[in-house]
Amino acid sequence: MTENLSGYRGKILAALIESKVQVGDLIRITKGKETYEGILIPRSEFGDDKHIVIKLKSGYNIGIEVTEATKIAKLSVEMKPSFISASLPKQNFNLPKVTIVSTGGTIASRVDYRTGAVKPVISANDLYSIVPELSDIATIDTEILFSMFSEDLTSKHWTEIAKTVAQHVSKGVDGVVVTHGTDTIGYTAAALSFALQNLPVPVVLVGAQRSEDRPSSDAASNLVGAVVAASRAPFAEVTVAMHESISDEAITLHLGTKVRKLHTSRRDAFKTVNTLPLGKVLNGEVLMLRKDYQTRDKERKLVLKPQFDDRVALIKFYPGMNAKIIDWHVEVGYKGIILEGSGLGHVCREFFPSVKRAIENNVIVAMTSQCIWGRVNMNVYTNGRDLIAIGVVPLQDMLAETALVKLMWILGQTSDANETKNLLVTNMSHEISRRSTIDVPYKNLGLSQMEA
Amino acid sequence: MTENLSGYRGKILAALIESKVQVGDLIRITKGKETYEGILIPRSEFGDDKHIVIKLKSGYNIGIEVTEATKIAKLSVEMKPSFISASLPKQNFNLPKVTIVSTGGTIASRVDYRTGAVKPVISANDLYSIVPELSDIATIDTEILFSMFSEDLTSKHWTEIAKTVAQHVSKGVDGVVVTHGTDTIGYTAAALSFALQNLPVPVVLVGAQRSEDRPSSDAASNLVGAVVAASRAPFAEVTVAMHESISDEAITLHLGTKVRKLHTSRRDAFKTVNTLPLGKVLNGEVLMLRKDYQTRDKERKLVLKPQFDDRVALIKFYPGMNAKIIDWHVEVGYKGIILEGSGLGHVCREFFPSVKRAIENNVIVAMTSQCIWGRVNMNVYTNGRDLIAIGVVPLQDMLAETALVKLMWILGQTSDANETKNLLVTNMSHEISRRSTIDVPYKNLGLSQMEA
């Protein structure tokens, strides 16, 4: 029977066998006064041997620590809830039309309830079977574009994603959702922000920090939030939909050019930096936090500019760094360098001759800050002023990652140095925030609360 | 007279001339019902033409916007407050002894009240003249080691700072303060954390985000906090003292290995990542936030290990990055590489052959995350597991910057690969937090509040 109790070990495995339950069963766990009911799901091979994981009726997985006093009972042998059903839910064709383009990552995976293995989603049926409530929100079509870890995606994949999204938009859908691994979802969101201009409808990237087979998976709630935004949001912008906090309440809609993954594992790992998020999805509604968005308008004609030049480097500065790294990039043919400098936008003076040489060789060199928050200001100190004199372009409050993507995109459109520099410092898709003395309203990021 | 109104322009300059006040005068500014009294100080050449800057009795500078209704009056012609006096305040030799070692940066500068130029502090007199209350806290000795922008410091400077601090500690002082530019103060703090072992007294690094001639300078309050910590704190650890919030109330004492500059310009730019700060200075008292510190004990014998090997690189990964960057570092003789991977500690599979070759060439390759918060976990996904199989060392929740410094320091002590890898993953100075399910108590970082 243990093949149906995948991932469970030791005393828990024994208790489950004794209770005659197996993965997929609806069970009741009683601990003192507390009672939990849900579907027993398999553990990952990396899970501990102290918790049983069940999927609650709400769709969330929880882990319950098993002690001597814990009782386990099977409630129904045959019952299979809709989310592990293989049958297609009824579609209501009066609802908005949303296409889900899958590129891979945790969110595009589901557990095989017999083996516990994580498999990529391959059809609308599978998606519905994980998140059946999608059929109440929109009429869903799906396309599996890639099934990749996001750290393996390159600018060539950004081009493919942009083209695919554009195809679906041209068919008249009300919104497109792109499922994506979280590692580099911010880079791809920036890429789509520049490549998909004049959008008529929203393009919502979405990922998951925890796969369906782990306690507290965020896959279902993020996907629901993304489909709500794609089908109902008043904006036509590229956005990233991820949990606002560690609770399940709200899904934040981040600007595609201002979002950064700031925690390795938490469900609220994504934060909008230096400005307000676009909005949030709460109780099935889209609440806007900004007014400066392009409004949804299906008559608007999308302008697709999917070319990127991958001869651009992001170089993070550190004390004592060897300036020959700059020289190497120039020698092997790089056309652009984004420096991630210290503080207000500095590198050591040892770098200056190499930076000067790069610029003399028609390499565009621009400055961001490894501080992440704040704005580069290269006029305060001598080193900054000298870098400007050499020709380094200060990039205001742009994220280093967004700056890399933007320069790759610009060099995909033009080879003119002046045009490139002008475009770099021109706000195109919220990547540069206006300097403001008005404080962004208080919001607790709770980062110090994050468990390591 | 305008040479005595340095930096003031336009209507404000005219108003100041008309009021017959000059820089250094005690003045009263009246705006409706509000009255401000303080010393007129010069503006920076980059200041606007709308504000008068005065130094309040508290030592803080404020900028006051001047309108038609603003009245300016001189209160005393001859009065020169103690903080611009050239005479040495009386020292109370019963107080704890603190040495201030100056390396440069904004904090070690003061305004020349005649010219408005920022000059490095060069003597105890100068320090006292900026922050006279220091003489009530400790008996101060000073040493000017460097006068450099911190982005120009290298591991050779860390060695010099470590040796200099050790010399002063060996003379029996009660604590050492190191003034330092904020750009790389975190790197230097990590370096001292490893180089100065078995400390008998505190070593407190301190910087300033705004120089004395700018409104709301944090130089004086940070320095006072640092001297309080150096003279009275119960710990003997390397710490960084900087403002807790944008108000003036508390100075946070960050762990030297867990602190990161997270804003380009705010006074509360520094945050302790993934764990609690060591403590804080509030109302002249040191309040501890942790219990796991080495206690102050002047009988303890400092162990000085100031050697660093600068053949270590910090390489931040981005999508589509060229794996030949790894090859280049190996070819030019690097001995260690800290990868700043995506998410839980990933790089693209294209990197794997180069990483493998680096390790086969006896280069130590270790993994941190560009997420900053959280912990690398390379067991969850295939790419991570394969990197571990190749020999990449996962560095738990260590900051990438601290990992760079630690590997430079380890390779300064040993050339044995196994010893290096063992030391890397062994917690030496709080750089690795224990995994905990207990949430670190709530604290508002207010990062989204930060003005860009």
Q: pLDDT per position in chain B (452 positions), as tens?
A: 455 787 788 888 888 888 888 877 888 999 888 888 888 877 765 567 888 888 777 656 778 888 888 899 888 644 443 334 344 556 677 899 999 999 987 776 655 444 444 555 556 666 666 787 888 999 999 888 988 889 999 999 999 999 999 999 999 999 999 999 999 999 999 999 999 999 999 999 999 988 765 667 888 899 999 999 999 999 999 999 999 988 878 999 999 999 999 999 999 999 999 999 999 999 999 999 999 999 999 999 999 999 999 999 999 999 999 999 999 999 999 999 999 999 999 999 999 999 999 999 999 999 999 999 999 999 878 888 899 999 999 999 999 999 999 999 999 999 999 999 999 999 999 999 987 544 443 233 434 334 33
- Residues B83-304: name the CATH superfamily: L-asparaginase, N-terminal domain (3.40.50.1170)
Chain B nearest-CA residue for A344: B264
Return the pLDDT at B368: 98
For residue A355, the distance in angstroms to the closest alpha carbon of chain B comes to 15
Please judge whether B440 and A447 are an interchain contact, meaning their C-beta atoms are less than 8 angstroms apart. Answer: no
Between the CA atoms of A355, A358, A364 and A368, what dihedral angle is there, to the nearest 10 degrees? Answer: -20
Return the pLDDT at A39: 81
A244 chain-B contacts, CB cut-off 8 A = none
Return the pLDDT at A447: 43
A447 chain-B contacts, CB cut-off 8 A = 271, 373, 445, 447
Q: What does the alpha-carbon distance between residue A251 and residue A284 come to, in Å, rounded to a whole number? A: 10
Report the residue from A155, A269, A380 with minimal CB separation from B320.
A155
Q: What does the alpha-carbon distance between residue B70 and residue A397 come to, in Å, rounded to a whole number? A: 35
B352 chain-A contacts, CB cut-off 8 A = none
Please judge whether B149 and A322 are an interchain contact, meaning their C-beta atoms are less than 8 angstroms apart. Answer: no
What confidence tens digit (pLDDT) does each residue in A252-279 have? 999 999 999 999 999 999 999 999 999 9
Report the residue from B325, B349, B369 with minimal CB separation from A152.
B349
Return the pLDDT at B110: 59
Please judge whether A449 and B437 are an interchain contact, meaning their C-beta atoms are less than 8 angstroms apart. Answer: no
For residue B272, the distance in angstroms to the closest alpha carbon of chain A comes to 8
For residue A228, the distance in angstroms to the closest alpha carbon of chain B comes to 25
B-interface mutation test, from A158, A183, A381, most B Cβ less than 10 A away: A183
Q: What does the alpha-carbon distance between residue A314 and residue B316 come to, in Å, rounded to a whole number? A: 8
Contact by Cβ (8 Å): A354, A327: yes
CA nearest neighbour of A255 among A314, A303, A306, A185: A185
What confidence tens digit (pLDDT) does each residue in A299-350 have? 999 999 999 999 999 999 999 999 999 999 999 999 999 999 999 999 999 9
CATH class name, domain A2-76? mainly beta
A152 chain-B contacts, CB cut-off 8 A = 348-350, 383
CATH number of A312-424: 3.40.50.40
Please judge whether B436 and A444 are an interchain contact, meaning their C-beta atoms are less than 8 angstroms apart. Answer: no
Question: Chain A within 8 Å of B431 (Cβ-Cβ)?
Answer: no
Tell me whether residue A182 is one of the annotated catalytic residues. yes
Chain A nearest-CA residue for B431: A452
B46 chain-A contacts, CB cut-off 8 A = 379-380
For residue A214, the distance in angstroms to the closest alpha carbon of chain B comes to 11
Return the pLDDT at A123: 59
Q: A51-64 burial by CB neighbour count: b if 16+ within 10 A, else e?
A: bbbbbeeebbbbbb
Question: Chain A within 8 Å of B427 (Cβ-Cβ)?
Answer: no
Chain A nearest-CA residue for B442: A449
Q: Do domains A82-304 and A312-424 have the same CATH topology?
A: yes
B127 CA to centre of own chain: 18
A374 chain-B contacts, CB cut-off 8 A = 263-266, 269, 450, 452
CA nearest neighbour of A282 among A221, A235, A240: A221
Measured from the Cβ of residue B415, the count of other Cβ atoms closer than 10 Å reads: 12
Asked if the ipTM is above 0.95, the reply is no
Question: Chain A within 8 Å of B369 (Cβ-Cβ)?
Answer: yes
Report the residue from A149, A152, A449 with minimal CB separation from B440.
A449
Q: Which two tokens stand for residue A437?
A: 């003395």
Burial class (CB in 10 A: 0-12, 13-18, 19+), B261: buried
Interface of B with A in 324-363 (CB under 8 A): 324-325, 328, 332, 340-350
Options A55, A97, A258, A261, the catalytic residue: A261
Please judge whether A449 and B441 are an interchain contact, meaning their C-beta atoms are less than 8 angstroms apart. Answer: yes
Contact by Cβ (8 Å): B126, B110: yes
Average pLDDT over residues A434-449: 45
Q: What does the alpha-carbon distance between residue A146 and residue A303 come to, in Å, rounded to a whole number? A: 23
Question: Chain B within 8 Å of A266 (Cβ-Cβ)?
Answer: yes
CA nearest neighbour of A137 among A177, A191, A164, A183: A177
Query: Helices B185-195 and B400-413: crossing angle, nearest 10°?
Result: 40
A-B C-beta contacts closer than 8 Å: 249
Q: Parallel, antiparallel, or unpaired for β B97-102 and B139-144?
A: parallel
Measured from the Cβ of residue B439, the count of other Cβ atoms closer than 10 Å reads: 12
Question: Chain A within 8 Å of B247 (Cβ-Cβ)?
Answer: no
Report the residue from A318, A328, A451 with minimal CB separation from B328.
A328
- The domain segmentation of chain A, as residue ranges, is 2-76, 82-304, 312-424
Return the pLDDT at A266: 92
Chain A nearest-CA residue for B347: A151
Report the residue from A322, A373, A404 with minimal CB separation from B447.
A373
User: CB within 8 A of A413, min separation 6: which ones?
Assistant: A305, A307, A423
CATH class name, domain A82-304? alpha beta
Chain B nearest-CA residue for A372: B262
A-interface mutation test, from B182, B184, B211, B264, most A Cβ less than 10 A away: B264
Options A50, A141, A163, A183, the catalytic residue: A183
Please judge whether B451 and A445 are an interchain contact, meaning their C-beta atoms are less than 8 angstroms apart. Answer: no
B396 chain-A contacts, CB cut-off 8 A = 452
Q: What does the alpha-carbon distance between residue B3 and residue B18 come to, in Å, rounded to a whole number? A: 15
Q: What is the CA radius of gyration of chain A?
A: 24
Tell me whether residue A356 is one of the annotated catalytic residues. no
Q: What does the alpha-carbon distance between residue A30 and residue A70 come to, in Å, rounded to a whole number? A: 6
Please judge whether B274 and A452 are an interchain contact, meaning their C-beta atoms are less than 8 angstroms apart. Answer: yes
Return the pLDDT at A230: 98
A432, pLDDT greater than 80: yes
Average pLDDT over residues A196-225: 88
Reported pTM: 0.81
Chain A nearest-CA residue for B272: A448
